[in-house]
Copies of this chain bind each other. A is one copy, B any other.
Amino acid sequence: MDVIEFVECSIGRWRSQRSGHSLAMSHFEEVRSTIDIVSLPTNATEVIELCKSNGVDISQAISPFQMSWKGESDWDESETLEGSCILVPIPDKDNLKKGKLLRSQGYAETIPAAGEYYITEDGTFILNTEYDHAAAEERIWFGTPNVRFRASFIKTSDSNGVLTASFSSEIRSLSTEEKSASIINN
């Protein structure tokens, strides 16, 4: 699996269950959300701007996409978690399995971030992102073509080093008949 195939497999609407683990405090958080992943043309204004602000030539951009989410946490049920970001893979020369991933907004901090990705032999997408005061590792893989998993791990670099991990199970949203057939058979 290379980054083009990986993005293709991810396009669609996903129903997500996410568990957050605050490791030091042994706390749990539960979030249910809907995630939409849509592909973008490489000449979309946002893609061009993200490449520019990262000093990357637009011709290197492959399979850019937008991810939007809307969810509810059990920590604050009155609050709706909502957002979206643009992601642009910049593969290494002659190797689509490895490169940079530009993002208009990171997970650990709400500023733009560029991470380093690689795709392992078993098709797991691994993304490492260094922030000013934290480092994040995210792993994404498919259980079936319609079930996607994401595990992430964030550690802060200051002396109060907070560790959090989270895990999302994501099921592709299909019509009711398609859903029962495809989840069971794939």
* Interface residues, chain A, with chain B CB atoms under 8 Å away: 15, 17, 19, 21, 23-24, 26, 28, 30, 32, 120-122, 124, 126, 137, 139, 141, 143-144, 147, 149, 151, 153, 155, 159, 161, 163, 165, 167, 169, 171, 183-184
The A contact surface, by secondary structure, is strand
A-B contact pairs, 8 of them (CB 8 A): A17-B21, A17-B28, A26-B32, A28-B30, A120-B122, A120-B124, A122-B126, A149-B151
CA A144 to CA B165, docked complex, whole Å: 12
Other than the known A23-B171, A163-B183, what 15 A-B pairs have Cβ atoms closer than 8 Å?
A: A19-B28, A19-B167, A23-B183, A120-B120, A120-B121, A121-B121, A122-B124, A139-B141, A147-B153, A149-B153, A151-B167, A159-B184, A161-B183, A165-B167, A165-B169
